[in-house]
Amino acid sequence: MQRIRYRVAGFSLLELMVVVAVIAILATLALPSNLGRITQQRMVETIELVEPYKAYVAAYYRGNTGTFPTDNAAAGLPEPSKIKGNYLRKLEIRDGVMHLTLGQKLPESLHDKVLSIRPVFVKDEPSTPISWICGHESVPSGMHAAGTNLTDLDTMFLPGRCR
């Protein structure tokens, strides 16, 4: 009796696993990262959290002939580390500027990053309204910004209005 040999054509299991691994790596690179967008949403939430404190700074400005509070105590706010939120580690007032130090539930790489929210005003006119800018947002024409912008958060994490 004579044996008939058949040649089996195809791929080995190892070859298939390598192909699947390469496809998985390429798919991971092709998908956009949601980290920037998610962080932007968290920054918006944090800005909304500190929104009520703007009134304290504005009231001080109007009541003190056009100067801004030097710190939290002068503005009538709790000490910086007592003002916290999901993504906010502390809120510190310096010369009218609200410096938001990030942390809490954010990725470790964003801990201790700062987002500054500055009052903008018409110089020598304390009765005019105060507007606010955040991050790297430009100062409107004819207005001046109080204090110093300490924002060190990467632009990709800032909401559109703070860029």
- How many domains, in total, are found in the chain? 1
pLDDT at 69: 96
- What are 89-145's pLDDT values in tens digits? 999 999 999 999 999 898 898 999 999 999 999 988 878 889 999 999 999 999 999
Which of 124, 162, 123, 117 has the alpha carbon at shortest distance from 143?
123
Question: Pick the residue with more confidence: 7 or 142?
Answer: 142
pLDDT band at 3 (very low <50, low <70, confident <90, very high): confident
The answer as to whether 21 is a domain residue is: no
The answer as to whether 110 is a domain residue is: yes
Question: Is residue 8 pLDDT above 70, yes or no?
Answer: no
The answer as to whether 29 is a domain residue is: no
Looking up residue 94, the CATH number of its domain turns out to be 3.30.700.10
Average pLDDT over residues 64-90: 93
Q: What does the alpha-carbon distance between residue 15 and residue 125 come to, in Å, rounded to a whole number?
A: 75
The answer as to whether 25 is a domain residue is: no
- What are 10-38's pLDDT values in tens digits? 778 888 899 999 999 988 887 767 778 88
Question: Is residue 1 pLDDT above 70, yes or no?
Answer: no
Which of 71, 72, 103 has the alpha carbon at shortest distance from 86?
103
The answer as to whether 109 is a domain residue is: yes
Where in the sequence is the domain holding 135, given as residue range(s)?
35-162
pLDDT at 28: 81
Please tell me the pTM assigned to this model.
Answer: 0.79
The answer as to whether 2 is a domain residue is: no
pLDDT at 30: 74
Average pLDDT over residues 53-81: 93
- What are 82-97's pLDDT values in tens digits? 999 999 999 999 999 9
pLDDT at 143: 94
**H or E stretch at 99:** strand 97-102
pLDDT at 21: 95
Which of 71, 64, 69, 108 has the alpha carbon at shortest distance from 89?
108
pLDDT at 32: 66
The answer as to whether 47 is a domain residue is: yes
In angstroms, the first-to-last Cα distance of the chain is: 84
The answer as to whether 4 is a domain residue is: no
